[in-house]
């Protein structure tokens, strides 16, 4: 089964979902500890059936050939990792999924990383829903590198343009985001007129 979506129309569909379902204005405390006048709840889109499928298609198209796995810090990246692995199987381009814990498992193996074991040096791409400072995805990158995997790219759904891309660049990572915050706000503004 092959899916060859039109990237532009799929991206616009996803942008509309983010604008309509995930973006909120108000007074919010972000996970980075920063206060914000807006909030993007990525899970409103990543857990939406058409959102998940579209995310899987778009993100898979951004994953370099030769990548063995996609991974991300739990909980924000979990549905994205799952969407990409499912779509990769449908595209006959199977890519494994890994979930990186914030704290080691409290029992059993006490592992930081859940999922299939990969060979040392395996190429892994880190996924994130919304990037603010970039620290969440960097924690995943560090844990994966400590486990012996090669991580050169971070892909996010939304970049809030608050320092994350600079952090990744300083760490030598190729960072790509499907949307910037400005695009979501502009799309929302255009639809409200």
**What is the 8-class DSSP label of residue 64?**
P
The span from the CA of 123 to the CA of 182, in Å, is 31
Burial 169-192 (b: 16+ CB within 10 A, else e): eeeebebbbbbebebbeebbeeee
Q: Is the distance from CB of 121 to CB of 145 less than 8 angstroms?
A: no
What is the model's pLDDT at position 111? 87
What is the model's pLDDT at position 193? 64
What is the model's pLDDT at position 164? 95
User: Is 5 a residue whose pLDDT tops 90?
Assistant: no
Neighbours of 156 (CB within 10 A): 29
Q: 9: number of CA atoms within 13 Å, CB side?
A: 3
Domain ranges of the chain: 7-191
User: Is 1 a residue whose pLDDT tops 50?
Assistant: no
* CATH fold of the domain at 7-191: Rossmann fold (3.40.50)
Here the tokens at position 33 are: 């500890």
Q: pLDDT tens across 16-67, in order?
A: 999 999 999 999 998 878 889 999 999 999 999 999 999 999 999 999 999 9
Q: pLDDT tens across 68-106, in order?
A: 999 999 999 999 999 999 999 999 999 999 999 998 877
């Amino acid at each position: 089964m092959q899916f060859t979506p039109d990237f532009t129309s799929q991206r616009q569909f996803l942008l509309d979902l983010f604008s309509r379902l995930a973006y909120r204005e108000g007074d919010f405390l972000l996970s980075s500890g920063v206060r914000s006048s807006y909030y993007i709840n990525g899970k409103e889109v990543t857990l939406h059936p058409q959102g998940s499928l579209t995310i899987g298609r778009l993100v898979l198209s951004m994953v370099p050939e030769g990548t063995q796995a996609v991974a991300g810090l739990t909980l924000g990246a979990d549905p994205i990792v799952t969407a990409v692995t499912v779509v990769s199987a449908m595209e006959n381009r199977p890519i494994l999924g890994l979930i990186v814990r914030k704290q080691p498992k409290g029992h059993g193996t006490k592992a930081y990383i859940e999922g299939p074991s990969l060979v040392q040096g395996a190429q892994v791409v880190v996924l994130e829903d919304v990037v603010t400072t970039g620290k969440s995805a960097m924690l995943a990158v560090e844990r994966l590198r400590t486990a012996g995997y090669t991580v050169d790219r971070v892909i996010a759904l939304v970049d809030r343009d608050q320092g994350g891309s600079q952090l990744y660049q300083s760490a030598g990572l190729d960072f790509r985001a499907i949307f910037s915050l400005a695009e979501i706000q502009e799309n929302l503004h255009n639809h409200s007129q």
